[in-house]
Amino acid sequence: MAFNTPLWTWLLSLAALGGLVGWLGGSELAWIAVAVCSVIWGAWLRWQLGRSLAQARAAQWANGRSLGLSGELFERFHKALRHESARAESAHAQLDDLRAALQASPNGVLLLDARGQIEWFNQTAAGLFGLERERDEGQWIGNLVREPAWAQLWQQRTPAAQQGPQALQAQLHGRAHSPGHPVLLKAQLHAYGDGRWLLLATDVTAQQQAEAMRRDFVANVSHEIRTPLTVLAGFVETLQTLSLSETEKNHYLDLMAQQAQRMQTLVHDLLTLSRLEGSPAPALDQWVDFKSLFRQVQTDAQALSALLGHAAQPVHHLAFSCDTGDVELAGSATELFSALSNLVSNALRYTAAGGHVHVQAQRKASGVLEFAVIDTGVGIAPEHISRLTERFYRVDRSRSRETGGTGLGLAIVKHVAQRHAARLDISSVLGQGSRFELVFAAQRVRDAQSLASIAPQTIP
Ligand code: ADP
């Protein structure tokens, strides 16, 4: 905008000239002229400012038309203000985006000032630490997280830690933590900005539990394999060092065969479990003839009962009833056979000779298929029931081993049930007997189709 205010220039020049003359000549008139010109100039400036302000209020800035010095000043101010407010708006929008991204983070995010006062936190952090926005923003974090581990972590905020790229770390407990329901958090403190701190909290409960399970599993497998191996090595040494009769030798060889068999069963069960855990669930269009599955389970049960009693005939009172009609089950024949025969084998192994074992299958009016194994064996105390399907969990370790158990049978049953959308129900009374039942959903059961359409599946 051009600077074209002649009156303005004239008045100012006049005042300056008057002032100069007055100063040089000592004339009072000149001083009066300066004063008058200054007053007029002041009034004129006031009028100009008033006019510009009125226009600014009405937002009627002349396009390309000069408004004088003050008008231009106002316009420039106005432009600068508009620019600043646009910048502020865009910064706000960016901040909102950033917060939305942090809100979406699966990790807890807390922004702390240099003294540890909470400036902001996301929803995940609110859940993990039990925070409420109105109540806790501005609070000192140490008032809300009262664990010694946190206090230690906070103490480590040395200037060196502030510089370094490495975060400070600690393990904390979530607000919902209790001994029966652990909530473990990995907390990381990162320095940022002007002495501020970013606290990242990740829920590592599942990860740590999986790690503990893996450690237990390796320890259990090693233990299970070491025992028969030690026994085998002992017998080998005996055979090598002692001169034994033929009968004694045969006795030791029998014992060695038993230990080798035990290891074989263990390895077989471990492989079954790892296959079940590592492979996709069986396809829904694979159908298994249930009656032949049942018959196979029945034949094996009779053989096992005789074997356990070292007899030619079964030593238990066995009853089998399959009231399902000709039906097919969706799933894998091998897996289903493994689950059903594990339940039957357990019933026989935990029921003394002379006890009763009843294996029954029914198709209910609702369409579900129930396969139940009922025994009059040792039974199980209630506190063990929820843990029976854990790998290597045994109520009676020695009985399990004596009868060739691996501690993996019910873990296999549970996996097969999950993969076939079936439910495993267990009820038992200590000293009286148990009932293990697999319930297959109606969608997985159908009337037997013509033989040609049944995909042939072999049972091991
Ligand atoms: P195991 O190879 O030791 O039998 P399982 O996983 O099959 O392992 O079973 C876990 C534990 O559950 C067994 O050690 C046993 O204590 C208990 N159990 C399983 N079935 C029965 C049953 N029918 N009667 C009594 N106890 C049983």
| Model confidence pLDDT, tens digit, residues 326-348 | 999 999 999 999 999 999 999 99
399 CA from centroid of ligand 1 (Å): 9
Tell me the mean pLDDT in the region 73-100: 87
In angstroms, the first-to-last Cα distance of the chain is: 97
Which ranges in 65-198 belong to alpha helices (H)? 68-103, 123-129, 133-136, 141-144, 148-155, 159-163
Better-scored residue on pLDDT, 55 or 432: 432
Query: Alpha carbon of 405 to those of 73, 152, 196, 386, 398: distances in Å?
Result: 94, 49, 59, 19, 9
Say yes or no to pLDDT of 178 above 50.
yes
Residue 45's nearest CA partner among 76, 81, 73 is: 73
Expressed in angstroms and rounded, the spacing between residue 9 Cα and the centre of ligand 1 is 108
- Cα–Cα distance for residue pair 166/195, rounded to 1 Å: 15
CA of 435 to the centre of ligand 1 (A): 12
In percent, the amount of the chain with pLDDT more than 90 equals 64
Nearest ligand 1 atom to the CA of 406 is: 2
Of the spans 90-99, 146-155, 246-255, 368-377, which averages the highest pLDDT? 368-377
Q: Which pLDDT does position 321 carry in this prediction?
A: 97
pLDDT at res. 60 = 54
Nearest CA to ligand 1 atom 11: 394
Q: What is the mean pLDDT of residues 370-376?
A: 98
pLDDT higher than threshold 60 for residue 366: yes
Q: Residue with the nearest Cα to atom 16 of ligand 1?
A: 395
Residue 128: Cβ-neighbour burial (10 angstroms; 0-12, 13-18, 19+): buried
State mean pLDDT over 85-93: 90
Residue closest by Cα to atom 13 of ligand 1: 394
Residue 460 scores a pLDDT above 80: no
With beta carbons less than 8 A apart as the criterion, state whether 208 and 171 touch. no
Over residues 274-279, mean pLDDT: 91
Distance 439 CA to ligand 1 centre (A): 19
pLDDT band at 452 (very low <50, low <70, confident <90, very high): very low
pTM score of the predicted model: 0.68
Between the alpha carbon of residue 265 and those of residues 199, 261, 271, 306, the distances in Å are 50, 6, 10, 19
> Who wins on pLDDT, 263 or 166?
263
What is the predicted pLDDT for the residue at 164? 60
Atom 18 in ligand 1: which residue has the minimum CA distance?
Answer: 346
**Atom of ligand 1 lying closest to residue 395 CA:** 16
What's the confidence (pLDDT) of residue 31? 73
C-alpha to C-alpha distance for 17 and 31, rounded to whole angstroms: 10
Residue 438 has pLDDT above 90, yes or no: yes
The pLDDT of residue 16 is 75
- The more confidently predicted of residues 44 and 314 is 314
pLDDT of residue 260: 94
Ligand 1 centroid to residue 402 C-alpha, Å: 12
Around ligand 1, the residues with Cβ closer than 6 Å are 346-347, 350, 375, 377-378, 380, 388, 393-396, 400, 405-411, 434
Alpha helices in 279-367 (DSSP H): 290-308, 333-349
Atom of ligand 1 nearest to the CA of 393: 10
Average pLDDT over residues 54-70: 59
Residue 379 CA, closest ligand 1 atom number: 25
Distance CA 387, CA 392 (A): 10
Percent of the chain with pLDDT over 70: 88
Predicted confidence band of residue 156 (pLDDT cuts 50, 70, 90): confident
* pLDDT at residue 64 greater than cutoff 50: no
Lowest mean pLDDT among 19-28, 363-372, 380-389, 423-432: 19-28
Give distance in angstroms: CA of 389 to centre of ligand 1: 9
Mean pLDDT confidence for 369-386: 97
Distance, in Å, from the CA atom of 434 to the CA atom of 411, rounded to the nearest integer, reads 17
Tell me the CA–centroid distance for residue 385 and ligand 1, in Å: 10
Q: Which atom of ligand 1 is nearest to the CA of 396?
A: 16
Question: Is the pLDDT higher at 17 or at 408?
Answer: 408
CA of 395 from ligand 1 middle (Å) equals: 7
pLDDT averaged over the chain? Answer: 88
Q: How far is the CA of 394 from the centre of ligand 1 (A)?
A: 6
**CA R_g for the chain:** 44
Which residue's CA is the closest to the ligand 1 atom numbered 4? 405
Q: At what angle do helices 6-25 and 28-57 cross, to 10 degrees?
A: 160
- For ligand 1, atom 19, the nearest C-alpha belongs to 346
In this structure, the dihedral spanned by the alpha carbons of residues 51, 57, 60 and 62, taken in order and rounded to 10 degrees, is 40
